[in-house]
Amino acid sequence: MRQTVTAVLIVVLVAVAVGVGTALVVGARQEGPPPPRPGREEESQPRSVPSLTPAQREQAIAIITADARLKALLGDRPWRIEKMGAWHTSTGRVVGAGAEVALSSPATLEGEWLGMHWDESLWPPYLIVPQRAKFSDVSHLHVLVDLDREQVVAVFPGVGAKLEGPIEYPPGYTPPPVRPSGD
């Protein structure tokens, strides 16, 4: 009797195992996105992109509008803020606002610009690098505003602008070597 029960139990377990195995194979043939790789759950979860509050947008606009460096670069040329969003670290911590400033017509702009070195091991995660340069065919400027420090910390020309002559850096400053993209 005990051998019969054991034999029946083995047959039932084999049937269950075959059924589960069949279900797994059939499930593997289903269409849709592949399941996440084990140990990579964080990569499969979409990151939310930070956004600015209305108060932060207003603060950034006020800082951009009052910035003496932008006033000196733009002179009396008409301009408007075309786009604005949160400027943040790779972990989503908001540093400030990033704005695209559109000029009413392309212009040649000469004066002091603000470049930066990005380093997320610091807080704030950037170092400002003032530089003098002349650019032609400037139709847009990219402006970064640190909302905690309440200041414009980067101003550089948009795509399509042409550098006219050398960039002058502060005395004693050496720009880092240009690394190929993907590093």
Peptide bond into 175 cis (omega under 30): no
**What 3-state class would DSSP assign to 73?**
helix
- Residues 66-71, mean pLDDT to the nearest whole number: 96
Nearest to 96 by CA among 141, 137, 59: 59
Q: Does 175 or 25 have the greater pLDDT score?
A: 175
Residue with tokens 């034999």: 7
Q: How far apart, in whole angstroms, are the C-alpha atoms of residue 141 and residue 114?
A: 11
For residue 35, the model assigns a pLDDT of 52
- Residues 1-23, mean pLDDT to the nearest whole number: 38
Mean pLDDT of all residues belonging to the chain? 80
Strand (E) or helix (H) holding 63: helix 54-66
First to last CA, the chain: 71
Beta-carbon-side half-sphere exposure of residue 71 (alpha carbons within 13 Å):
7
- Residues 16-32, mean pLDDT to the nearest whole number: 41
Overall pTM surpassing 0.85 (yes/no): no
Inter-CA distances, 33 with 2, 20, 29, 45, 134, Å:
48, 22, 11, 13, 50
